[in-house]
Amino acid sequence: MYLEPLLKDNELFDKNRIVTFDTETSDGLRGCDLWKIALIHSNYNKTNFFVTEDLKEFVDYLINQIRKDSVIFAHNLEFDIRFLLNEAIRKKFIFYSAGILTAYLQFKKSKQWFTFRDSFALLPMSQDKLSKSLDVTKKFEIDFEKEISEKDILLRIENDVLGLFEILVEANKFYFKRYSINLLKFMTIAQFSLSIFRANNLKKKILNPYFVEDFPLYELYNNIRKTYFGARVECYDLNTHFDVIGYDINAMYSHVMSIFEFPVGKMRIINSMKLKELSPFGFSDCVIEIFNGKITPTPIRTKNGIYYPFGKIEGLYANQHLLFLEENNLGKILEIKKTYEYNDSEYLFKEFMEKLYKIRLSLQAKKNPMEILIKLIMNTSYGKFGQKPITTEYKQLDCSDDFFEAEELFSIAQDIYAKFEKRKLRNFSLVHISSFITNYAKQIQFNYLKKIEEDVIYTDTDSFIVPKKIKLKTSDKMGDLKLEKKFEVFKAFSPKAYYYQNKNIASVKLKGFTKKFKKTIESMDINTFEKFIKHEGIRWEKYASFKRMIRPTKNTQFIDGYLAYESMSRSFPLQYDRRQILPSLLTIPINTKRIEV
């Protein structure tokens, strides 16, 4: 099995196959009424807009006016598709991490299956940001706390569907002109990015070592995949800080891809190897001793999360990381039990990444906001190599045969569904490449952190927060630093949870954070905020995901059919347990003896 170069497309994706749709609803979760549902499509390059408040009218329009080979996009498919599900007699879904990736629906009056896709999976940023970057129709904002007119609703939904249509057309034209690959053939940006690489930069085929002839080695693949995860997120100082600055590492993962060699070729498994015989291009099941320090280099992945401790660790690690430890006196390799070694290495991405970054800098210099489309390719071009070899599908049962093949059965809105998991390794399933990219990135992050370990307050992947007095060299080169942001007030609580304030306006980085909560805390100083969250906590409601409706909890309330909401809460202060907290609120690494693996 080989990953091979890909043929380029001969012609641009026909925009007459593009349909975009959206729904406009009342803002109240518990009384969610459909105000309008609309779509835009193109016939003979003439744009047609259709809007109604009647779902049956909308379905009739789909059946009678939309081309059979059309792809229907929504930028929040997980939500917008729900209103159509009660009208569909047969349904099938493909999922990704954010929810429904693709939905196939069949309606009563037609034998045709209609294809719906989440455009966010192709262009993963807000429609508002995309419309500004691509200079297309902007969203029309509505203040839902005021009285809303029919004219406002119509203007908002027309702008939404027209803007998304223009985004997809312009983005596809931009990419096709440069790479002769159509964005709209794919379901995700990662699929598309890999295809650009294969069509434009892959010079020769790459062996996939996780097959013996055509037989997939799932256990071996999944074992190597344990080493594939992102760079660290840690809090080093939990005090409140004033006048701090944030630095980013320019295109860190792209930089890694441009300067390092990566393992390719056949794999051999060697038992009990000596350190001096170790090739950097492989992985080893080993026992290592990590020396103590304020910031330690080696992660340990547990059921409770990722730690960077000191002490004895046993596990599978990239060989280049083991050599890095020894060369820099950061740890000692006590035993190498088994090694997975690749027989060759290549600079796979050097030319590809250097070209992309050069194009991006050129567009930035011209103040061309389309540079965001190049950034998307740079950020997503390696993820497909490390993808889980499982595709999850949900299908409404329509015959007894499905029952026996299903992994699981469940019901929503009186419809019976079966869950199917398709396990398949593909030619691009080269997880060792993805793992090496993230391992090299962690190494670069660590090198920067060691230079500022006495002052660093917080780090997240390719960025870190330091006091304003710390001046670091910046440039626009890949791998160098850039000054990203300034904060008048900053306080970290735990990874990816912090308070900050600028110009007397407060905000919070927090998973589950809502606009309504943002308005609540905008005027709070840090002391008021801490008192508020200590006593009140954070409570909010959100629409329940399709997966949550499959397994509802006591906090899940169904409204009607495929609409449900969840009552959510989160309390503070969050308990930070990845490092030991000192009385001074500084943190230090913990001993591996205290970690439950």
Give the pLDDT score at 529: 81
Is residue 230 over pLDDT 70?
yes
Would you give the DSSP letter of residue 66?
S
Of 134-148, 252-266, 287-301, 314-328, the one with minimum mean pLDDT is 134-148
Round to whole Å and give the CA distance between 62 and 182.
24
Residue type (1 letter), 157: I
- Whether residue 8 is predicted with pLDDT greater than 70 in this model: the reply is yes
Q: Is the pLDDT of residue 530 over 90?
A: no
The Cα–Cα gap between 466 and 333 comes to 33
**Mean pLDDT estimate for the chain:** 91
pLDDT tens per residue, range 381-432: 999 999 999 888 888 887 655 566 788 888 888 888 888 888 899 999 999 9
pLDDT on residue 368:
92
Question: HSE on the CB side for 161, CA within 13 Å?
Answer: 27
CA angle, residues 416, 420, 421, in degrees to nearest 5: 155
| Backbone φ and ψ of 7, nearest 5° | -70, 145
> Of 163-177, 327-341, 542-556, where does mean pLDDT reach its minimum?
542-556
pLDDT of residue 560: 80
422-460 burial: b if 16+ Cβ within 10 Å, else e: eeebeebbbbbbbbbbbbbbbbbbbebbeebeeebbbbb
The answer on pLDDT for 191 being more than 90 is yes
**Nearest alpha-carbon partner for 99 in 587, 543, 597:** 543
Can you give the pLDDT at residue 214?
Answer: 82
Is 30's pLDDT higher than 60? Answer: no
Tell me the per-residue pLDDT of 276-307, one tens digit each, with 9 for 90 and over.
Answer: 899 999 999 999 999 999 999 999 999 889 99
Confidence (pLDDT) at 32: 65
pLDDT at 596 (0 to 100): 78
Lowest mean pLDDT: which of 186-195, 281-290, 364-373, 542-551?
Answer: 542-551
Does residue 320 surpass a pLDDT of 60?
A: yes
| DSSP E strands, 250-398 | 262-271, 282-290, 300-302, 305-307, 311-318, 331-346, 390-396
Task: Report whether the peptide linkage leading into residue 573 is cis, meaning its omega lies within 30 degrees of zero.
Answer: yes
> Which pairing describes strands 563-570 and 538-543: parallel, antiparallel, or unpaired?
antiparallel
Question: What is the pLDDT at residue 572?
Answer: 59
CB atoms within 10 A of CB 43: 11
Asked whether the beta carbons of 565 and 542 are under 8 A apart, the reply is: yes
**CATH number belonging to the domain at 12-182, selected among 1.10.10.1100, 3.40.50.720, 3.30.420.10, 3.40.309.10:** 3.30.420.10
Residue predicted with more confidence, 405 or 476: 476
pLDDT band (50, 70, 90) for residue 513: low
More confident residue, 550 or 515: 550
Judge whether 74 and 24 are in contact, CB under 8 Å: no
